[in-house]
Structure 1
Amino acid sequence: MTDSVKQSVKPAADVYPGHTGGPRSQAWADLLADARRWNDAHPLAVGATGVFAALTVVAWLAAIGRGMPFPLTGLATTLGAPDAPSMAASLLLARGPVQLLVDEVLLLLMLTLAEPRLGIRRTVAAAILSVVLGVGVGLAACGGVAVLLHGTQAVARIRFALSPLMWGVGPLMAASAFHRPLWRRRIRLVGYAAVASVLLFGGSPGAYCLLAGALAGQCFGVLLAAADGRGRAKTADDPLHWRLGTSFEARRVFAAVALVLALGPLLASVSPTHAGPLSPLALLLGPGAPDEGVLARCLAEPSHAGCFFQFDLVRSSMPGAVLRSLLPTAVMAIMAWGLYRGRRLAAWVTVVCQAAASALAVVYYLVVPAGFVPDGFAALVRHGALASCVVNALPPAVFAVALLMSLRHFPMRTDRARLMRGLIGLGAVWLACAAGYLAFGLLRASDFHPAASWRDLVAELPGRFVPIGFLSHTRLRFVPVTPLASAVYQGVGLVFWAAVLVVCVRWMRDVTAGDDRDRAEAGRLVEHGGESMSFMATWEGNRYWRSPSGRSAVAYRVINGVALTCTGPFGDPGEWMTDLREFSRFCAAHSWTPVFYAVHRAQRDALVADGWNALEVGGEMVVDPRAWKTTGRKWQDIRTAINKARREGIEDVLVTFDKADADVRDQIEEISEQWAGDKALPEMKFTLGGVEELRDPRVRILIAQDASGRVLGVTSWLPTWRDGRIVGWTLDFMRHRTDAPNGIMEFLIARMAERLRDEGLEHPDVAAEFMSLSAAPLAGMNPQRDNTAPDGTMDAGTAMLQHAMQLMADWMEPAYGFRSLFNFKRKFQPSEEPVYVCYPDAAALPQLGLAVTRAYVPSLTAGQALALLRTLQR
C-alpha cells in the first residue's frame, strides 16, 4: 500500500474526533445538524408552509365536524357570481390531501429559493403584491380572452378556485432577478412553462391569476435589482436572457417547449375546465371525435355567438381510442427527449407533427364548419371561428418554424440504414393492420350496423390510425355491435401506434446506445495510445472506422461526401501507418473522399510518400512541464498574472466536472453561455470542445476562483496515453467571465504547468512529458514551410486552398480571434509543431474547404455570415 493510500485510510475515531459512537450514528447526527442549519437559514419558508398546513388541517376538521363535504369543494366560485370569501379562503387552504401535499412541496421550494435572495421583508412584499395584482389582473385577463373568443357566457359559469401557490410564485420570480443569468433564465423558463401549460390547455381563471402573479413578481424583482444598482439583473439588458449562446442550452429550451405541447392532450383531458386557448386543439389530438351535430345545431340557432368556444369536445370514448390518443403523446415526449440529446430525426418528427397539428386546427375551425353555415366565411368570423383558429393554429406553427430554422442545433443524425429499417417495419405493420381490418369487415360485415360495405370500410380506414376521431366521424358510416368487431375496430390503430412508439424508442435508444458504445470503444483505444489531440476522437458527433485487428481506429465525419478525420489514427501505434491506407480504401468503397485533418509530421510524410497532397493548417504549441520556469524578461507577463492573482486572493482549483460542486458546474455553464452569447458567430465544434465535452471524468478542469467562490475562468485539459500511461495533457476549453481580471487565463495555464512540474518531481515515474496548448484553428499557417505536392512543388490547387483558408481565417478572426489566440499562446515560449490537412485529389478542394467550415461551425446561418461581413465592411 502506498503512502498516499495509507494516509487516506483513517480509523473511525480519526474520522469523527471526539465521537464515541459508530460512523452511522454520527452521520445521522451530522444530517440533523445540517437540517437545523437549513431551517435557521429559511425561517420564512419553513414557517409559512407550516402555517399553511396547520390552517388547512384545522379547516378540514371544522368542515367535517359540521357535516360539510370533503374535499372542500365549496371553496370554488364563478366569475358570473364571484364569492370573495371563497376566493380568499382558497388562497389559504388546500381542498384535499393531494393538493396539500403538492402545494406544500412547491411552496416550500419556491420560498426557499426566494428568501435568501430577497430577505424576509422583500419576500413578504413580493408575495402580497403578486397576490393582489395577480388576482385582479388575472381575472380581468380571463374575461378579456373570453370576449375575444366569444365565450363570455361559458367562462362565467366555470367553477374555479385560486391557488395557495400564488404566495410563492411571485417571490420566486422576483428573486430570479438576483440570480446569475443562466439560472435566471432557467427559473423563468421552467416557471412560465408550467403555468402556461396549465393555462393554455386547461384555462381555469385561477391559472390566469397565477400567470399574472408571476409577471407581477418578476417586474417587482427587476425594480428591486435596479434600485440595488445591479444593472446586469435587468433582463432587457441581459443578452443571456433572450439569446441562446450554445447549442446545448438551445436544445434544453426546445425540448421543454416540445414536452409542454406533447403533454397538452393529457393536461386537457384531466383538466376540470376546458376554457384554455389551446384546449380545443389538445382535445382534438385526444380521444374520441367531436360531434358535428351539436355544432351544426348551435350554428343553426338564432343565438349563435360563442358556438366554437362552447362546443363540447369532451366525449365519451372507447378504451382503445383513449389508449390510441395517449400513445402519440408518449411518442412526442420521446421526441422531446431526442431534442434534448441533439437528434436531427427528433427535430424533423417534431416539426412535421406540430405542422400537422396546426393544419388540423385550420381544418377543424374553418374547413369543416363551412358546410354548416349558409353565408360562408363571414359567418365563421362572426361566430368566432377565425379567432379560435388563429389561437389554436399559431403556437404549433410558430414552434415548427422556429425549430425548422434551428436545425443546426441538432447535428446528431440517425443512421440511414437504421432509419429505413424502422420505416419499413412501420409500413409493414400498417399494411397488416389495414388488411386485417378490411378483411374482417368484409368477412363479418354483419358485426357492424349497418352492415359494412367495401366502400364504407375504405372510407373509415384513415380514422382507425389517426390519433383523433376527427376524420372518421365527419360522417359516421357504421358502428361495431359485437365484442370482436369492437376489438378490431379499436385495436388496429392501437397496434399501429404501439409499433410507432416501439420504433421511435429504438431509434432514439439505438442511436444513443450505439454512440455510447462506439465512443466507449474509442475511449478504450485512446487510453492504449494516441497523440496530443487524439482524445478529441471520443467526442460526440464522430463516426469510427476500426482496423481489422480492432486494436486501432480512426474518427471521422462525413460532410458533403468528404470523410474528414478528427486527427490521425489512435490505439496501437504499430498500426497507424497501415490505418492510413486501410481507411482510404474504406472511404473509396463508400464513394467518400478521405481527408486527414490535423495530423502531425510523421503521418503527413507517409501520406505524401503515397502521392497525397498536404497543407499546413496551424501550429500546435507544446510546453515541456519538466523544464517549466518563469525567470527572465520574456516571462514578465506570466509572472505579473500569477502575482496579481495571488494578491487578489484568486486560487486555482483542479477538479473534474462530475466531482465539482453543483454551484461550480452551474458557473462553468454560465461562463460558457456568456462567452458564446457575446460572439457574432455560433460556438465552434469539431476540434474545439464545449461544456458537453467537460463532462468526461477523464478530463481535468482547472478553474480560477476568488475568495467568495465565484468562478472567474475555466480551462480543461485532455489526457494523452502511451502504453496505458498518461504522458501529456492538452488544453481545450478556455473561457472566462467578461468582467474577470486581466491575466486570468495566463494565471491558469501557468498554474497547470507548475502543477504538472510538481507532480513529476513528486512521482517521476508518472511525470507528464508535455503540455500542449493545442493549435488555434486556421492560425499560425506558415507558407514558408513545406506545403508541397509529392514532386516537391506546390500545385496551383494547393496554393488556392491555402489562400482560401487564410481568407476564411481572416473573415472569422473578428468573431473568434484565432490569430489573437495563437499569439497569446506564444507568451508561454512553446515549441511549435505544425499540423496538416492531407487529401488525395486536388479536384476535391472545394468540397474540402466547405467540409472544414461546416465541421467547425455546423450551426452557422446565412444571416450570421452576412452580419459578420457587414461588420467587416465597417
Structure 2
Amino acid sequence: MRTTRRIADYVAHVPVSVGFAALIVVTALLAGTFLGAASIDTKVSWAAGVTTTIENGSWWTVVTALCIPWDPFQLAAGVLASLVLLGIAERLLGSVRVLVAMSMTGVVGVTLGVALEAVGRAAGEWWAEMASFDLTLDPLTPLVGALLAASAFAGSLWRRRIRVSVFSFLLTFVLYDGDSSNVYRFIAALTGLFLGAILNRGGSTLRSHRSSHRETRTLLATIVAATAIGPIISLVNPNGFGAMSLVAHLFGESFPDKQATLDRCATEISAECERALALLSFAGVGPFLLVFVPLALLIVAAWGLRKGRRFALWLAIAVNLALAGLAWFSFDITATIKRAEADDWTSLDIGKLIVWIGATIAVPLVVAVLLFLRRGNFTIAAPHSAVVRFTYIVVATFLVLAVAYFAVALATIDAYTPDATLGDLAIDTLKRFIPVNFVVTTGDTIVPTDNLTFVLFQWLGVVFWAVFIVAAFRMFIAIESCVRDGDHQRIRELLRRRGGGTFGFMATWPGNVYWFSPDGEAAVAYRVINGIAITMSDPVCSEERSGRTIREFAAFCDANSWVPVFYSVHGHYLPIFGELGWLYTSIGEETLMRPIDLDMTGKPWKKVRQALNRGAKEGVTTLWTTWNELPISMIDQINQISEQWVAENELPEMGFTLGALEELKDPEVRLMLAVGADGRMQAITSWLPVYRDGEPIGWTMDFMRRADKTIPGIMEFLIASSALHMKEQGIELLSLSGAPLATAPLAVGETPPDPTAMTRLLEFLAKTLEPAYGFSSLFTFKAKFNPRYETIYMAYPDPLALPAIGTAIGKAYLPEVSAKEAISLMRTLTKQDERTLS
C-alpha cells in the first residue's frame, strides 16, 4: 500500500517525465525497436539525418527522431533517464516549462546538427561527409537539453556539477565516437544552457562562479576520468569518426600468426619483422591488460585528484604526457605526410589528417597543462610513513620481478628469436614493464619460445602495475591523524575558558584530533573516517566567534578534501549553516534540567520520590567523587560491574559520543556512586563538566551502569541524588545527555516535518538498533525527570555524501566490531524480529 502511494505521489510530481518514458515504450513497440535494432524502413521513415530530413524532404523526422529509441539498449537508457534525470529537471522547471525545454532543445539540436552536416559535406569536410550518411533515432537528445535548461534553476553547487558532468560526458563521446546522435545531444545541451538563462530571466547563471578547492578537484578529476574512458569508447566502436577516434589505434592492433612470424624473423631483420615480433608479444591476456595500464592509471589518478592528492596530480600529468608521446611516435606525422604525398593526396586532405592526428596528441597535452596550472588545488601530501611504504613496495616489487625475469631469461637465452645477447636481455627486462604499443616504437624486439619464460614475458608488467595501483590507492587514503604535543592541554584550556556546550568535554576523549584557529581562540575536535571529518559537538569558542570558527574549519576540511560534518550541534548554530547553504537534520534529543531551581513535588515526580524513599529506607548512600580518590576496593567493584554488563550483553560497546570505563579516569570527571548498606556498590554514573570562565556551571551525564540484584529504581535514585547534590552546589545546568535517534513528543496541534532521505535513514536505524541498544527505552527512562528537550543536529554541506557520512558515523560508534559481536548483534535483532512476527 505504501509503495503504491509513493508511486502515485511520484507520478503526480513529474507527470511529463513519466509520460515521456511511457511514450518511448509505446513508440518502440510500434516501430519494432522494442526487441531489436531499427529496421531500414523505420530509419528511412522516422530517423533524422541529411539523407532523410533534407534529401528526402522528410521534415518531420526532426521531431519523430526524438520519440523513438534506436534499439532495446537505448530504450532502457531512455526510460531510466526520463524517470531520473528528466524527473530532476521537471522538479526544477515545472511541468510546462520542462515540456517547452524538451521540445525546443531537441528540435534545435537535431535541426542544427543536420544543417551543419549538410553544409560541411558541401564544403568537403571529413567528419561531415561521413556523418551525413548516419541516421539518428535518439530520445536522449531532448532529455539532455531539458536537464541543462533546468540547471539554471539549481543552486550554484548543483548547477556546476550538472553542467561539468554532462558536458564532459558529451564531449568525450563527440571526440572519441563522433556519430550524429552525440553531436545532436551536444548542440541540444548548448541550447538548453542558453534557454535556461532566458527562462531564469537573466544571464547570471552563465557566469562562472568561484569554486571551493574540493569542488575544483572534483571537476578536474571528472575531466581526467573522461580522457581515460574515451579510448575505451573508441575501441568499443572502431568505426567511429570523432576527432579522437584514431586513439583506438594506440590501444588495439591485429596480431600476426605466431609460428609463421617466429620462423620468418629467426633469420630476417627488418622494420616489418620488428613490429610483427612486438605485436606477437601482445597476443595474450597479460599484454592485452598491460596495454590498458595508462588508462587504469588515469582512473586511479582521477580518484586521487578528487581527494586533492599531490601525487595524483603528478601521476595524471605524467600519464597524459606519455600518451601524447605515444600518439606522436605511433602516428609519426612527418612520415604520414610523405606517404600521403606519394599517394597524391590534396593539401587540404593532408591538412585534415594532421588536424585529426593532432587532436589525439593535443588533448592529453592540454589536460596535462591544465592540471599543472591548477596545481595549487592539490596540496595534500601523504604522510612521510606512507611515502616510505609506497616507495619500498614499488621499488622492491620492481627489483624482485626484474631480477626473476632476467635470471630465467638468462637460463633460456638460446630460446629467443632472434638470437639475444646479455644486453638484449637487460633491455628486454625493462620493456616488460611497458605497454606493447610503447615497445613497438622503440628498438629491437626479441621473443622467447620457452614456455616458462614466455609466461613471465607476458605477465611481468601486469603484476607490477597491479601492485603499483594498490599501493597508490593506499597512499591516497593515508592521512595525518595524530595529535600533536600540547594539543590535549590546549583543548582543555579552551574548554575551561570558552565552554564548548554540554558535550564539549567529550573533545578530550581518545580518537579525536584537533583543529585550532590561527589566533588560538577557537578549536574543533574531529575524527576523519573515509574522507568524512566528523566533529564532536559544538565548536569550542566564544558565542560571537562561532560563525567564523565554523567557516574556518570548513575551509580547512576543503583544503584537505574532506567533507565536514558537524555532529551533535545545538540549534542556535543552524542559522550559520543556513547561511553556508548546508543541510541539517535532527539526530536525537538532549534532556536538560536546571538543578538550581529543582523542586521534586507534585504528581510528575512521584516515581522519582518513590525511588529516593526506597533507597533511603534500604540504607543506600551516595558518594560524589573522582576516580583518583577511590580506594582500590571500589575501583575493583566498578570494573566488575562494567565487565559484567559487557559480558551479559555480548554486544559491541558503542563509542564516539558514548564514554566507556577509560573515560571515567579523567581527573576532571566526577562520579556519583550508590553504595548499599552492606558496602557493596550498586550503581555508577559519571558526569562531564560544562565550564564557563574556568568554573563548572553544569554537568553532563555519560556513563551509567548498575550491578545485578540491586533495589528497584536504583538508577532513578542515583540520578535524583546527583541532581539534589548539584542544587546544593548552585549548579545551573544538568544534562542527561542525548538520546541518539530519538524524537521529542510533538506538542498539541504540532505537525511533524516532511521526511527527508536522511530522516528516513535515521528512523530505519532507530528501529533496527532498538532491540540491541534500547535508545527509545533510554529516552523514556530520562523522561521521568521531567526535563526540557533540546534537539541536537547534524549539519553537512553535500547531500551526495550522505552514504559516506552514514557509514563514517556508524564506524565512529562501532569502530571495532569483532565477528563474535557482529553475530551477537544480528542474533539479537533476529530474535526481536521473531517476537514481532509471532
Structure 2-normalised TM-score? 0.54
What one-letter code is carried by the residue in structure 2 that aligns with 1:508? F
Gap runs ≥5 in structure 1: 1-28, 65-69, 292-312, 537-543, 558-562, 572-619, 626-653, 655-667, 677-681, 731-760, 769-874
Q: Deviations over 1:527-556 (max 9, x none)?
A: 9995668999xxxxxxx9x9xxx9799868
What one-letter code is carried by the residue in structure 2 that aligns with 1:60? G
Q: Does 1:128 align with 2:103?
A: yes
CA distance in 2 between partners of 1:144 and 1:118 (Å): 35
The equivalent residue for 2:204 is: 234
Pick one of 555, 559, 566 that aligns with 1:696: 566
What one-letter code is carried by the residue in structure 1 that aligns with 2:204? K
Q: Map 1:757-796 to 2 at 5 A.
A: 764-766=733-735
Q: Is the 8 A contact 2:499 2:692 kept in 1?
A: no
Per the alignment, do residues 439 and 458 of structure 1 end up closer, same or farther by CA in structure 2, a change over 3 Å counting? same
Pick one of 345, 363, 371 that aligns with 1:403: 371
Q: Deviations over 1:325-356 (max 9, x none)?
A: 34443332222222222222222222222233
Q: Map 1:425-440 to 2 at 5 A.
A: 425-440=393-408
Pick one of 715, 721, 727 that aligns with 2:690: 727
Q: Map 1:64-103 to 2 at 5 A.
A: 70-72=36-38, 74=40, 82-84=51-53, 91-103=66-78
Q: Is the 8 A contact 1:552 1:569 kept in 2?
A: no
Q: Is the 8 A contact 2:557 2:564 kept in 1?
A: no
The equivalent residue for 2:465 is: 497
Q: Is the 8 A contact 2:23 2:67 kept in 1?
A: no
Per the alignment, do residues 727 and 554 of structure 1 end up closer, same or farther by CA in structure 2, a change over 3 Å counting? same
Q: Map 1:341-356 to 2 at 5 A.
A: 341-356=307-322
The equivalent residue for 1:506 is: 474
Pick one of 29, 34, 37 that aligns with 1:57: 29
Pick one of 290, 296, 300 that aligns with 1:324: 290
Aligned partner of residue 766 in structure 1, secondary structure: strand
CA distance in 1 between partners of 2:553 and 2:295 (Å): 33
CA distance in 2 between partners of 1:423 and 1:87 (Å): 58
Q: Is the 8 A contact 2:498 2:692 kept in 1?
A: no
The equivalent residue for 2:455 is: 487
CA distance in 1 between partners of 2:435 and 2:520 (Å): 45
Aligned partner of residue 412 in structure 1, secondary structure: coil
Query: How far 1:104 sits from its partner (Å)?
Result: 0.9
Aligned partner of residue 439 in structure 2, secondary structure: coil
Pick one of 48, 70, 80 that aligns with 2:20: 48
Q: Does 1:118 align with 2:93?
A: yes
Per the alignment, do residues 168 and 346 of structure 1 end up closer, same or farther by CA in structure 2, a change over 3 Å counting? same
Query: How far 1:507 sits from its partner (Å)?
Result: 1.2
Query: How far 1:45 sits from its partner (Å)?
Result: 0.9
Aligned partner of residue 32 in structure 2, secondary structure: helix
Q: Is the 8 A contact 1:290 1:469 kept in 2?
A: no
Per the alignment, do residues 36 and 375 of structure 1 end up closer, same or farther by CA in structure 2, a change over 3 Å counting? closer
Q: Deviations over 1:6-51 (max 9, x none)?
A: xxxxxxxxxxxxxxxxxxxxxxx34432321221121111111011
Q: Is the 8 A contact 1:357 1:396 kept in 2?
A: yes
CA distance in 1 between partners of 2:470 and 2:177 (Å): 30
CA distance in 1 between partners of 2:512 and 2:154 (Å): 46
Per the alignment, do residues 342 and 713 of structure 1 end up closer, same or farther by CA in structure 2, a change over 3 Å counting? closer
Query: How far 1:109 sits from its partner (Å)?
Result: 1.9
Query: How far 1:189 sits from its partner (Å)?
Result: 1.5
CA distance in 2 between partners of 1:104 and 1:689 (Å): 40
The equivalent residue for 1:337 is: 303
CA distance in 1 between partners of 2:311 and 2:137 (Å): 41
The equivalent residue for 1:247 is: 213
Aligned partner of residue 172 in structure 1, secondary structure: helix
Q: Is the 8 A contact 2:309 2:379 kept in 1?
A: yes
Query: How far 1:388 sits from its partner (Å)?
Result: 3.1
What one-letter code is carried by the residue in structure 2 that aligns with 1:235? T
Per the alignment, do residues 263 and 249 of structure 1 end up closer, same or farther by CA in structure 2, a change over 3 Å counting? same
Query: How far 1:215 sits from its partner (Å)?
Result: 0.8
What one-letter code is carried by the residue in structure 2 that aligns with 1:388? W
Per the alignment, do residues 35 and 704 of structure 1 end up closer, same or farther by CA in structure 2, a change over 3 Å counting? same
Q: Map 1:734-749 to 2 at 5 A.
A: none
The equivalent residue for 1:155 is: 130
CA distance in 1 between partners of 2:117 and 2:492 (Å): 62
> What CA RMSD, in Å, does the superposition of the two structures yield over aligned residues?
5.5
Gap runs ≥5 in structure 2: 257-278, 502-506, 526-539, 585-656, 658-665, 670-686, 694-729, 738-838
Pick one of 388, 392, 399 that aligns with 1:424: 392
CA distance in 2 between partners of 1:374 and 1:272 (Å): 22
Query: How far 1:207 sits from its partner (Å)?
Result: 0.7
What one-letter code is carried by the residue in structure 1 that aligns with 2:464? F
Aligned partner of residue 99 in structure 1, secondary structure: helix
Q: Is the 8 A contact 2:214 2:559 kept in 1?
A: no
Q: Deviations over 1:729-777 (max 9, x none)?
A: 99xxxxxxxxxxxxxxxxxxxxxxxxxxxxxx99822399xxxxxxxxx
Q: Does 1:192 align with 2:161?
A: no
Query: How far 1:117 sits from its partner (Å)?
Result: 3.4
Query: How far 1:234 sits from its partner (Å)?
Result: 2.9
Pick one of 32, 37, 42 that aligns with 2:4: 32
Per the alignment, do residues 132 and 199 of structure 1 end up closer, same or farther by CA in structure 2, a change over 3 Å counting? same
Count of equivalent residues: 551
CA distance in 2 between partners of 1:80 and 1:316 (Å): 40
Per the alignment, do residues 265 and 624 of structure 1 end up closer, same or farther by CA in structure 2, a change over 3 Å counting? closer
Q: Map 1:316-715 to 2 at 5 A.
A: 318-366=284-332, 369=335, 382-384=350-352, 386-445=354-413, 447-454=415-422, 456-458=424-426, 460-461=428-429, 463-472=431-440, 477-479=445-447, 484-509=452-477, 511-512=478-479, 515=481, 530=495, 622=542, 685=555, 694-700=564-570, 702=572
Query: How far 1:500 sits from its partner (Å)?
Result: 1.3
Aligned partner of residue 695 in structure 1, secondary structure: strand
Aligned partner of residue 163 in structure 1, secondary structure: coil
CA distance in 2 between partners of 1:710 and 1:556 (Å): 23
What one-letter code is carried by the residue in structure 2 that aligns with 1:415? P
Per the alignment, do residues 484 and 192 of structure 1 end up closer, same or farther by CA in structure 2, a change over 3 Å counting? same
CA distance in 2 between partners of 1:257 and 1:356 (Å): 17
Say which is worse superposed, 50-59 or 214-223, in terms of deviation: 50-59
What one-letter code is carried by the residue in structure 1 that aligns with 2:76? L
Query: How far 1:177 sits from its partner (Å)?
Result: 1.7
Q: Deviations over 1:53-86 (max 9, x none)?
A: 122134338x98xxxxx34364678999734578
Query: How far 1:710 sits from its partner (Å)?
Result: 8.2
CA distance in 2 between partners of 1:410 and 1:76 (Å): 50
CA distance in 1 between partners of 2:489 and 2:8 (Å): 46
CA distance in 2 between partners of 1:42 and 1:393 (Å): 45
Q: Is the 8 A contact 2:409 2:425 kept in 1?
A: yes
Q: Is the 8 A contact 1:202 1:271 kept in 2?
A: yes
Per the alignment, do residues 92 and 493 of structure 1 end up closer, same or farther by CA in structure 2, a change over 3 Å counting? same
What one-letter code is carried by the residue in structure 1 that aligns with 2:29? V
Per the alignment, do residues 764 and 416 of structure 1 end up closer, same or farther by CA in structure 2, a change over 3 Å counting? closer
What one-letter code is carried by the residue in structure 1 that aligns with 2:412? R
Query: How far 1:483 sits from its partner (Å)?
Result: 5.1
Answer with 1 or 2: which has the greater Rg. Answer: 2
Q: Deviations over 1:634-685 (max 9, x none)?
A: xxxxxxxxxxxxxxxxxxxx9xxxxxxxxxxxxx9xx99xx99xxxxx9995
Q: Is the 8 A contact 1:173 1:218 kept in 2?
A: yes
Q: Is the 8 A contact 1:290 1:470 kept in 2?
A: no
CA distance in 1 between partners of 2:68 and 2:348 (Å): 43
Per the alignment, do residues 420 and 49 of structure 1 end up closer, same or farther by CA in structure 2, a change over 3 Å counting? same
CA distance in 2 between partners of 1:34 and 1:525 (Å): 52
Q: Map 1:287-298 to 2 at 5 A.
A: 287-288=252-253
Per the alignment, do residues 726 and 155 of structure 1 end up closer, same or farther by CA in structure 2, a change over 3 Å counting? farther
